A = this chain, B = another copy of it.
Amino acid sequence: MKKITIKDIATQAQVSISTVSFVINGKGQKMGISTNVIKKVQDVAEKLNYRPSMIATSLRTGKTRSIGLIVEDISNQFFSDLARVIEDEAKNIDYRVFYCSTGDDDERSEELIHSLLQANVDGFIITPTQNLESSIDLLLKLKKPVVLIDRYFPGQKVSHVVMDNYEGSHSATKFLINKGCKNIAVVNNTSEMVQMKLREEGYRDALKEEGLYNENLVLHMEYHSNEEARIASIIKFFKKNAEIDAVLFLTNYMGLTGLQAFKDMGIEIPGNISVISFDDHDSFKLHTPTISVVAQPIEDIAIKSIQLLMSQMTDMEAFEVEKSLKKGKLIIRESV
């Protein structure tokens, strides 16, 4: 069975290939093609089960009706949830999504951008890594529509949609303070990215407002260390600071590691320590006790980012940079 082309249809329907093309693309009416001919072409196309070659169309039009989605790690539930919503939204406007993971590796991220550029995607949605600013600049120079999500570069003129990270951790910390906690720790990674900085700031400011801030209770963990090393560093930190009565984990994977560490140490939640983590996760709902979280507004972020991307794809010139901040949601469970 060989591939059916526009030419086969033209032959069978006894018209020119231009006519076929117009009909297939719904421009039959507009081009003043007779109803009879339109019907005939459609019937033949149907009968031969014709599928236009995306590749030929792309080469000709320069458009692929596809979006490249670059996330940190598609096997992290936050990103896979995000990806699914974005894919659904894109499907509604008849776009395909190609997704891939950076693993928080700058070099890999650059490769992915180039590979998607080569595949000629019409737009990019990206969770950038730390040093990706220049690659993003390249996309801007190429006039490629881009939206950053989850994080961004403060100085760069690119649309982005992120959670209100400052507010999220500020209100979570506030909640712990109101609960009566006095020695509230925070576990962050060593990333210099703005979203992590803002989360830490929200925590710090909330404590400072109450005169409770203690810089010894801030732990920064290496992102690229392995699970055992991370658990060990958490154990060490909590042993050293036995006065800690509450902790805020700034990402879900740090929260999960923390829970593992507490388990190994025999620390009881919320008896010995109250826990809140960023980013909801199935394991947090299933954990004994269930873990409170600052949940990201995944749906809002996904929908908004597609919208921003679409407005760029529709008219790259008229488009203006938009910075969108979406409020997260503090979900209180048994862990506090």
Q: Give the CA-CA distance A58 to B53 in the complex, in Å.
A: 11
Interface set, chain A 76-124, CB cutoff 8 A to B:
77, 80-81, 83-84, 87, 96, 98-101, 114-115, 117-120
Q: Give the CA-CA distance A51 to B116 in the complex, in Å.
A: 11
Q: Which residues of B contact A117 (CB under 8 A)?
A: 51
Interface bits A40-76 vs B (CB < 8 Å: 1, else 0): 0000000000011111101100001000000000110
Most buried by B among A54, A55, A84: A55
Q: Give the CA-CA distance A120 to B98 in the complex, in Å.
A: 14
Q: Which residues of B contact A96 (CB under 8 A)?
A: 115, 119
Who on chain B is nearest to A283 by CB? B283
The contact of A77 among B51, B75, B263, B285, by CB within 8 Å, is B75
Q: Separation in Å of the A261 CB from the closest CB of chain B?
A: 11
* Residue contact B74 to A80, C-beta cutoff 8 Å: yes
Who on chain B is nearest to A117 by CB? B51
A256 at the interface (CB under 8 A from B): yes
A7 at the interface (CB under 8 A from B): no
A318 at the interface (CB under 8 A from B): no
A317 at the interface (CB under 8 A from B): no
Given the interface contacts A1-B141, A51-B118, does A263 sit within 8 Å of B288 by beta carbon?
Answer: yes
Q: Give the CA-CA distance A51 to B138 in the complex, in Å.
A: 14
A142 at the interface (CB under 8 A from B): yes
A287 at the interface (CB under 8 A from B): yes
Q: Give the CA-CA distance A34 to B101 in the complex, in Å.
A: 42
Q: Separation in Å of the A160 CB from the closest CB of chain B?
A: 23
The contact of A259 among B83, B101, B286, by CB within 8 Å, is B286
A21 at the interface (CB under 8 A from B): no
A210 at the interface (CB under 8 A from B): no
* Residue contact A101 to B84, C-beta cutoff 8 Å: yes
Listed in ascending order, the chain A residues whose CB lies under 8 Å from chain B are 1, 51-56, 58-59, 64, 74-75, 77, 80-81, 83-84, 87, 96, 98-101, 114-115, 117-120, 141-143, 256, 259-260, 263, 282-283, 285-288
